[in-house]
């Protein structure tokens, strides 16, 4: 009897951000191959009887070759085992899931993809930023400056001209270069941006600045994500006033003691 491989997104780090399905599959796993960035609190949810191996990849550190990871997935499944490939965030966003999917298909191994909360969403939530806002940005671009082909370059001009909020994964610490490329592509130098370090974890940090001042940003602990766009600034300037549905705008907050649900919702 053949087993099954589950490509599971573990989310950004907070175990409470695991999906219900991810938790159920993880607790029934017989083999778990996990990335380095998976936290101990999540790894502790794995059954003690399961075979657990770290096959993670992390910039600047020795890691397991992708071909070896593919081989392990294919090797375990024919023994009738439930194999979990546990990745940070969502496995299909900069998680090299495509290579594993191709290998599993070639080997005729049954598999399932379980989506997770990607770090861009967790970072935005941590910084209290709405990635889209109808008067600021109607699109979001997930991108990274790391490519398999060193000669491949980021199409900054296309991204900037789209007016989308940019969520830059694995931005590294070359902030001066990133700022220069963004400005050269037509982005206003005073555009707001935020660096989010270890989103959703107990030691998360958030640094807000502008593209012009980005080169002065500190080197926060990795993993980090860089958010760029007008929505970053917009979320800091919205007043804390009741929303008037009738006029579709903020209204003056009522005097203490006069607040009623009807007044907040309808501005009566």
Contact 110, 116 (CB under 8 A): no
Q: What is the 3-state secondary structure (H, E, C) of the chain?
A: CCCEEEEEECECCCHHHCCHHHHHHHHCCCEEEECCCCCHHHHCCCCCCCEEEECCCCCCCCCCCHHHHHHHHHHHHHHCCEEEEEECECCCCCCCHHHHHHHHHHCCCCEEEECCCCHHHHHHHHCCCCCCECCCECCEEEEECCCCCCCCCCCHHHHHHCCCEEEEECCCCCHHHHHHHHHHCCCCCCCEEEEEECCCCCCCEEEEEECCCHHHCCCCCCCEEEEECHHHHHHHHCCCCCEECCCCEECCCCCCCCCCHHHHHHCC
Give how far Cα 11 sits from Cα of 14, 92, 118, 119, 211, Å.
Answer: 7, 12, 6, 7, 28
The structure tokens listed for 153 are 């370059």
**Of 25, 58, 59, 66, nearest in space to 42 by CA:** 25
Measured in Å, how far apart are the chain's first and last C-alpha atoms?
A: 67
Considering 4, 21, 57, 136, which one is annotated as catalytic? Answer: 57
Is 87 tagged catalytic? no
> Is 14 designated active site?
no
Tell me which of 35, 151, 216, 241 is the catalytic residue.
Answer: 35
Instruction: Report the catalytic residues.
Output: 35, 57
């Amino acid at each position: 009897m053949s087993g099954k491989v589950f490509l599971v997104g573990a989310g950004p780090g907070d175990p409470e951000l695991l999906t219900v399905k991810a938790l159920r599959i993880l607790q029934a796993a017989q083999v778990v191959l996990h990335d380095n960035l998976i936290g101990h609190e999540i790894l502790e949810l794995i059954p003690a009887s399961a075979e657990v191996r770290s096959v993670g990849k992390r910039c600047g550190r020795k890691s397991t070759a992708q071909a070896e990871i593919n081989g392990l997935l294919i090797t375990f499944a024919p023994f009738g085992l439930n194999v979990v490939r546990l990745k940070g965030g969502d496995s299909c966003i900069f998680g090299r899931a495509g290579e594993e999917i191709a290998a599993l298909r070639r080997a005729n191994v049954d598999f399932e993809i379980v989506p997770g909360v990607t770090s861009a969403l967790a970072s935005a939530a941590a910084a209290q930023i709405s990635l889209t806002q109808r008067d600021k940005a109607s699109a979001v671009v997930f991108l990274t400056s790391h490519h398999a082909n060193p000669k491949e370059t980021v199409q900054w001009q296309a991204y900037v001209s789209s007016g989308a909020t940019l969520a830059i994964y694995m931005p590294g610490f070359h902030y001066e270069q990133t700022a220069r490329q963004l400005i050269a592509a037509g982005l206003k130098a005073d555009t707001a941006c935020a660096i989010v370090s270890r989103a959703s974890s107990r030691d998360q940090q958030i640094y807000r600045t502008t593209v012009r001042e980005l080169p002065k940003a500190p080197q926060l602990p990795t993993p980090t994500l860089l958010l760029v766009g007008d929505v970053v600034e917009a979320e800091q300037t919205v007043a804390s006033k009741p929303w008037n549905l009738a006029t579709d705008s903020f209204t003056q907050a009522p005097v203490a003691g006069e607040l009623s649900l009807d007044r907040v919702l309808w501005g009566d």
